[in-house]
Every structure is written in structure tokens, then in C-alpha cells.
Amino acid sequence: MSSLIHPTAVIDPLAHIDATVKIGAYSVIEGPVTIGPDCVIASQAKLIGPLEMGRGNRVHSFAVLGDAPQDLKYHDQPSRLVIGENNIFREHATAHRGTGGDTVIGSNGFFMVGSHVGHNCRVGNGVTLVNSAVLGGHVQVFDRAIIGGLCAVHQFCRVGRLVMISNNSAHNVDIPPFCIAMDINMVTQLNAVGLRRSGMSRESVNALRQMFKILFRDHRSLSLNKNITLLPPELQAVPEVREFTDFVTSSKRGIARFKPWSERQSRQVEPAPADE
């Protein structure tokens, strides 16, 4: 056994572990697990195969990766969890393999404490799941999306590229690219800070602003698909605008409704009863 693997770690003979991998005390590597170079598996983590993990991933204590899906239709069908490179899985993060298929996680993701990636999900690159954020089965999350703490995304939904979902919200429809979402199935505005930080050109950001105004503000009485036909050709020619409209028109679950930030009703807190 490698000197980088603690002697109390339990390693299945079916596992393939690169010689540079560090594995902490009492960790369990069960079944056909492949771990690429420079990964660090902290003490008391559990990896269950079939699981394939690329270079440079860090798995913290009590994370469980590759367990069977939480799906009553699952009866030991062949499936895998496939993980890219340079992801961080913090304490108690979980990701399950698929039901008769694969769960796939890209690279450079950050999965914070207690977050969960359900069976058959497709998670892109640079995605962040904040503490206790959960993805139901078959959810697709595009690159560099941020799912806030205590958020829930319903099975079969899609979360577009550079979306930011605020904390403590729930969604059972698709969230289109480049937007901020909150509450229940609600889009409030473009993710302007995220767009700027992504390195997107000023011309593309301005085009998205014009598109958003036409789709959501100028013709609020019309359907979103109808408003897309009103976009001028010069806007439709911008790749990011096409990405947005293609996402909307291909939706099967529907798109989150628009409600301006200024129109959101504040949540009233009932005063505590006076002492008798």
C-alpha cells in the first residue's frame, strides 16, 4: 500500500488508485473506483463504484460519492458516477450514480457542506452548490451556475449557464441562462455581476440587457415564446441571445415567471405575542 494511504483506510481490490492519491484514516473505497492523479480523500470519506474521478479532486470527511440512487425504480442496473477534475466536495456532500445510466459532474465545481447531486444529473463546469442545495434526479446544470444554500431544484429541470439562484428557494421549472432566480419559480433580473465576472464582452452584455427588456418588460401580457419573435434580427444574431432563446424554446417543463425585484412582496414577520 502507498505511503500516502493511511493504514486504516479500506481499499477494495477492484479499485484503481493513482500513486499520487492521498487517502486519510478510516476512509472506504468500495468497488470499482478509479481515482486520478493528485486527488485527496480526507479521513472517513466513502467512495463507491462504479465511480470514475479525474485529476485533482478533493473529497472532505463524511462525503459519500457514488452510492446507489434514491429511486424506487433502481434494481441494480449498471450505472456510474463520472467526475471530472479539480472539484471540491465538502463535508457530507453526496452524489449518486444513475438509474440505468450515468451521473456526470464536470470540472472545477464546488459542492459545499450537505449539498446533493441526484441520480442521472448532468452538472457542467465551474458549478457551485452552496450548503444544503439539492438537485433532484435528471437535473441539468450548465456551466458556472450557482445554486444557493437550502435551494431545491426539481427532477428533470434545467438551470442555464451563469444562472444565480438565491438562497432558500425552490424551482420545478427551467431557469434560463444569465438570470437571477429566487423564491418559487421566479426570475427577477439578469445576473449582471456574474456576466461581468465571466469575461463576457460588453457588446454581448448590452445585447442581453436589450433582449431582457423586450422579453420581460415591454410586452408582459404576451407569452415568452411570442416575445422571442419580436426580437430584432441584430439581437438574434448575438450568440448569447441565441443561447437564451434556444434554451427557452426547447423547454419541456416551462420557464420561471418574471417578477421585477421592485414588485416583490416583502415577507411579513408576525410580531411575537405580548406577555400576559
Between residues 141 and 225, which one has the greater pLDDT? 141
pLDDT of residue 269: 42
Average pLDDT across the chain, whole number: 94
DSSP letter for each residue of 71-138: -TT-SS---EEEE-SS-EE-TT-EEEPPSSSEEEE-SS-EE-TT-EE-TT-EE-TT-EE-TT-EE-TT
Assign residue 148 the CATH number of its domain: 2.160.10.10
Kindly report, residue by residue over 87-96, the tens digit of the pLDDT. Answer: 999 999 999 9
Asked, for residue 239, whether it belongs to a domain, the answer is no
Residues in the chain: 276
pLDDT of residue 180: 97
Domain that holds residue 34: 10-156
> Residues of the chain with pLDDT > 70: what percent?
95
Asked, for residue 224, whether it belongs to a domain, the answer is no
Q: Which amino acid makes up residue 186?
A: M
Q: What is the pTM of this model?
A: 0.93
Domain tally, the chain: 1
Asked, for residue 272, whether it belongs to a domain, the answer is no
Asked, for residue 214, whether it belongs to a domain, the answer is no
Kindly report, residue by residue over 29-50, the tens digit of the pLDDT. Answer: 999 999 999 999 999 999 999 9
pLDDT of residue 3: 76
Strand partners, 205: none
Kindly report, residue by residue over 122-172, the tens digit of the pLDDT. Answer: 999 999 999 999 999 999 999 999 999 999 999 999 999 999 999 999 999
Asked, for residue 255, whether it belongs to a domain, the answer is no
